[in-house]
Structure 1
């Protein structure tokens, strides 16, 4: 494997020969590859396609404030060296993500997850529009052909097994405590009243000890059933790093040619026990001044971030996004770009949205850094993929957890605006833990 990082990344990537080839496959269980492959492994499942990938022909890592530019330039150089005729649905991609903050880590929770990490997998299985493709990359065409035959044989010979249930939780630790949370919210509200902030998103972490290790394939299979219209993801950069996985409803940006798809997802309430209660909660959310104000800030900021690079930006109708345990206000946003752009240019411009950061952005980030007593790592940061055209899709990694051995750390946050109530915001965070807690309890 070639690891590319730092100032020499672009030169090294442009000199790295990479060949790709692919083949249609018969039907098989989508989690077979993850069960039989060694790290690094990636799973990416969205409304339109499902991808599992493993191994590394090359990987890209970067640290610090220039990490978006470093990955973009290295990815471009790497794809320029790629040869092989592969159908578009099966095309090789770089998969990975970024840390929420750049710079030094405050603890060891996220060891093995750099500020930016992307992998060009040795083997990639893609399910798209009812067809399945096996794609491999290698240093030469001959090695690629041999690898393709080998992996087709391995996948055909692999058998699925009976799924296991959640491992069970034996202990848990919350950061912050409810009392400390109330103090944090009051401090943020003081800054909002003093006009130093308009909004800030403060998060919590929940560390749990498990009765046994988490089966990531089984957890993802359960998430597939409960959250089919979310992005389900799992990233395992190395054997000791653990796996960051989740089911996020929030698209940061998706770029195809010059068409951008994104949206605002902010403002939350629970689900009702009956249809009438559920609809009452939804109507209450639609009528909530506090939640609509929080949502307006996100829509406004995304439009402002896209305006400099777009011929036009259009905003769809605000509606309710219903998930298994929570409902959100959602507004779709589309843009037609004024020229060719790389998806990472848009990722850098949009991250963090006010839905996970705040406004003004710099003041909100400083508040988050000085307030939160844990390291966000990749939580609430961009995760996704890039292709050779510079297109790609990135989601915001919320509703997520980092699992390692018999421990897991869950993350969730709430947007604080002028009329936020600390107890209500605490309850909202607990709702947002549920998708991942259900896979562990």
Structure 2
């Protein structure tokens, strides 16, 4: 589906001009903008580099089925084929932002209402921060008069400059009740069944997830929850996608799926986990134990090998960095950076299709792991553990894996976390690992 404008006007994108106008403005806080402008909206805040907030809808692209990314790329190529743009930094280019479901056969039922199998939005307005400078971008598809886009960016600029800075970050809403899926005993049964499959030779690894549904004591404030994640997880990718007036998907993920700029590609293998210590000495001991753990190293290398294999058909070279420990507030991970130089420039969606799902969130072999996940998990993953990110007219873009995440609406939220199961996994240890991974979202809510 290709829709133009938030009113749902559906027209063929072919031969329709995309008009883009940009203005520089004084820096303003992302929280203030989120507080002032409502949905649909999106947030993308990487540890390094430009961040942006988008709101309103100039165009929506959606697709379903196992060729959904190919369909989306073709739609995006048509959308971007005729651009009327002014001169401004590359970081302020129009961007399609969104994501996709973990399983291609996805029906957007609660709590995932509005989250199609694959959905990307070109925001009507996009505010980009580059170092200490902010840029406002206004987008319109086939406007009656391009001058109206100049008017729109000027009017929006005045609106933003009139935004009153908000006060301090409010306290979290608090958690009134919790409901887990599965129960601890059912989890043990699921893990043991997966281990039997692995030992029987059907699988090498499978990632099983849990969900935690919580009722909040007060309505969730999106500006405040994102601000809390910014403070607590500055070295993670913070994101938010809210397609309409309903649910919002947000998180602070440590896992980059892929970033592409021309022929240069960067990704990371992230797998193998342990907790954080109460003292510096205990923390370092846990990190050293993780680096020496045969089980965790095996799980990690399955991921790293798969990523290299998935990139190799497109790359003239693939380089692997040193395996280290990634320390986050509640958990430590093994990580290995991976970079590639491509034979030819590839659209980032091509690479997303090649990499999703990595064994860090799916398993090996992929088809057997997907079958196991479908047969085992009693809830819909929706967009959890799936690619979320953006791309531009050049096919450059960045995607993260939607873990350490939640989907929320009003005073309810559903959190997700998973653990990689290999032959020598222990069900109770894996349960404990999942509880650690709920930490970022629970910290933001209670």
TM-score by length of 2: 0.95
Aligned counterpart in structure 1 of residue 391 of structure 2, from 386, 393, 398:
386
What are the superposed Cα offsets for residues 20-41 of structure 1, whole Å, 9 maximum, x if unpaired?
0111111211222222223210
What are the superposed Cα offsets for residues 143-181 of structure 1, whole Å, 9 maximum, x if unpaired?
110111111100111112223111011111000000000
1:209-248 equivalent positions in 2, closer than 5 A: 209-240=215-246, 242-248=247-253
Cα–Cα, structure 1 residues 106 and 50, in superposed 2: closer, same or farther, change >3 Å? closer
1: CA distance between counterparts of 2:12 and 2:102? 27
**Matching residue of 1:412:** 417
**Matching residue of 2:126:** 124
Q: Does 1:14 align with 2:18?
A: no
Aligned counterpart in structure 1 of residue 277 of structure 2, from 268, 272, 276:
272
Q: Does 1:148 align with 2:153?
A: yes
What are the superposed Cα offsets for residues 45-68 of structure 1, whole Å, 9 maximum, x if unpaired?
002122111001101111111111
1: CA distance between counterparts of 2:253 and 2:391? 18
Q: Does 1:431 align with 2:436?
A: yes
Aligned counterpart in structure 2 of residue 346 of structure 1, from 351, 363, 366:
351
**Matching residue of 2:303:** 298
1:37-436 equivalent positions in 2, closer than 5 A: 37-46=37-46, 47-85=48-86, 86-105=88-107, 107-138=109-140, 139=143, 140-162=145-167, 163-240=169-246, 242-436=247-441
What are the superposed Cα offsets for residues 109-148 of structure 1, whole Å, 9 maximum, x if unpaired?
2111000110111111111122111111122421110111
1: CA distance between counterparts of 2:89 and 2:16? 22
Q: Displaced runs of 4+ in structure 1, greater than 6 A? A: none
SS of structure 1 residue aligned to 2:444? coil
2: CA distance between counterparts of 1:374 and 1:146? 47
CA drift at 1:106: 8.7
My pick for the range that moved more, 99-108 or 184-193, is 99-108
Q: Any conservation in 2 of the 1:172–1:208 contact (CA below 8 Å)?
A: yes
2: CA distance between counterparts of 1:185 and 1:412? 15
SS of structure 1 residue aligned to 2:359? coil
**Matching residue of 1:30:** 30
2: CA distance between counterparts of 1:61 and 1:39? 18
Once superposed, what is the RMSD of the aligned Cα atoms?
Answer: 1.6
SS of structure 1 residue aligned to 2:270? strand
TM-score by length of 1: 0.97
SS of structure 2 residue aligned to 1:374? coil
2: CA distance between counterparts of 1:41 and 1:348? 25
SS of structure 1 residue aligned to 2:69? helix
1: CA distance between counterparts of 2:98 and 2:223? 18
2: CA distance between counterparts of 1:377 and 1:415? 19
Q: Any conservation in 1 of the 2:107–2:117 contact (CA below 8 Å)?
A: no
What are the superposed Cα offsets for residues 315-349 of structure 1, whole Å, 9 maximum, x if unpaired?
00000101111100000000000112100000000
Q: Any conservation in 1 of the 2:55–2:123 contact (CA below 8 Å)?
A: yes
CA drift at 1:104: 4.0
SS of structure 2 residue aligned to 1:439? helix
2: CA distance between counterparts of 1:406 and 1:16? 41
The gaps in structure 2 that reach 5 residues or longer are none
CA drift at 1:217: 1.0
The gaps in structure 1 that reach 5 residues or longer are none
1: CA distance between counterparts of 2:441 and 2:192? 28
My pick for the range that moved more, 394-403 or 81-90, is 81-90
CA drift at 1:3: 1.1
